[in-house]
Amino acid sequence: MDTEALTQRVLKNIFVELEASGRHVHITKEQAQALFGHSLTPKRPLSQPGQYLANERVTVIGPKGRFENVAVLGPERKEGQVEISLTDGKTLGITPPVHLSGNTENSPGATLSGPMGQVTLPKGVICAKRHIHMTPEDAARFGVKDKQTVKLQTFTQRPLIFEDTVVRVSPDFATYVHLDYDEANACGYQPGDLGRILI
């Protein structure tokens, strides 16, 4: 093993890489048909295995404003969902609850607009609760379990410690911290920045 590879391996034993998620949308197969006239098509893979950024984009419309050209992530899901930051919520005139992705309980709705039509979601607008995707191997190494909450110290321009950060463990995951853009900007995140789990 050369020095660079060794350095990377040591770093990965101590730190977790941070990623910032911009506003994005998940839709169902039926909603893809209504919005685009066809299923989603992959543009490029995301860090989580099997997940991709779609070529297709939508406009998200709220009572006070709209965002055009919003990313749609594939593959399609069983329920439509819009993930925005609290700052985005002010622009749209929507106050999303802070929930883990997939939990749309008691969330407000929004309208999606695509080249072939519009879809109104009665609910599904959330602010994604910060979380760490982790492989079972990394979870064992860091001594954490699925659904455990940890503190996460960021080594960033504006350093801080995120409390109440949920660990999600699955063999389908790659190990990354997911922050929204309020959190990313609050800590001065730059791509490649690292964090450390404090238990």
Binding site for a copy of itself (CB under 8 A): 85-87, 98, 129-130, 151, 153, 157-164, 180-183, 185-188
- CA dist., res. 151 & res. 166, Å (int): 9
155 neighbors 193 (Cβ within 8 angstroms): yes
- CA dist., res. 73 & res. 152, Å (int): 26
Least distance between a copy of itself and beta carbon 196 (Å): 12
Which of 17, 182 has the CB closer to a copy of itself? 182
Look up tokens 């695509």; give the residue.
Answer: 114
Least distance between a copy of itself and beta carbon 74 (Å): 25
* CB-based burial label for 99 (10 Å; 0-12, 13-18, 19+): middle
| C-alpha distances in Å from residue 83, one per residue of 119, 128, 136, 156, 159 | 16, 6, 26, 24, 25
Least distance between a copy of itself and beta carbon 198 (Å): 10
Which of 76, 193 has the CB closer to a copy of itself? 193
- The HSE-up count of residue 101 (CA atoms within 13 Å, CB side) is 23
72 neighbors 57 (Cβ within 8 angstroms): yes
Which of 36, 189 has the CB closer to a copy of itself? 189
Total length of the chain: 199
Least distance between a copy of itself and beta carbon 125 (Å): 15
Least distance between a copy of itself and beta carbon 132 (Å): 15
Which of 20, 144 has the CB closer to a copy of itself? 20
Which of 149, 170 has the CB closer to a copy of itself? 149
